[in-house]
Structure 1
């Protein structure tokens, strides 16, 4: 088996793991924006409308963060499962991916 190909597959999995972590951080950042907006609006603007609007914003922020964590864990499980296939590509599959049908 081509060791260069195995290294390329390994590095692709590492890039995918980093992209998954970046996505998790984006979900957390977005959730925190909602939580901060909800708590700020609820405390600074002293009207009933903004107090009632603040609570759903906080709930949405917590929901977004939880969904990001769940998605991160699900994708991480798939990435770890794909790690088992590194280096197991057949020569026919490699040629087909490269477009060499001879």
Structure 2
């Protein structure tokens, strides 16, 4: 086996592992957006129970919650599309690495 083939297979494996880490980071990010959105939702409900007379704050927190949630979902799908496009540059790593 040539050294060049071994180096190429190692690079392909490293790139594949880097993409796996990127996928996990993207999933972690959407969960962080979801968590933050839920915090704003809970804050709106707490403000509603605490200050029963002023309901404008409740809707402000609910709006922020919805905006953060929608932005997180859009961001997730945009990043997922970019990750899938970056897999093209690695090549057919499974077939090359097994042989």
What TM-score results when the alignment is normalised by the length of structure 2? 0.80
How far residue 45 of structure 1 moved from its aligned partner, in angstroms, is 2.4
Counterparts of 1:7-26 in structure 2, within 5 Å, are: 7-26=13-32
Q: 1:49-101, CA deviations, whole angstroms, 9 ceiling, x for partnerless residues?
A: xx21011101110110110000000000000000011149xxxxxxxxxxxxx
Q: Distance in 2 between matches of 1:58 and 1:16?
A: 31
Matches within 5 A, 1:1-102: 1=5, 2-48=8-54, 51-87=55-91
Q: 5+ unaligned residues in a row in structure 2: which ranges?
A: 93-99
2:11 and 2:86 map into 1 onto residues whose CA distance is: 15
User: How far has the Cα of 1:46 moved from its partner?
Assistant: 2.0
Q: Distance in 2 between matches of 1:87 and 1:80?
A: 12
Q: Is the CA contact 1:39–1:55 (under 8 Å) kept in the aligned structure 2?
A: no
More relative contact order, 1 or 2 (CA 8 Å, 6+ apart): 2
Q: Deviation at 1:47?
A: 2.5
| Structure 1 alignment gaps of length 5 or more | 89-102
Bigger fraction of residues in helix: 2
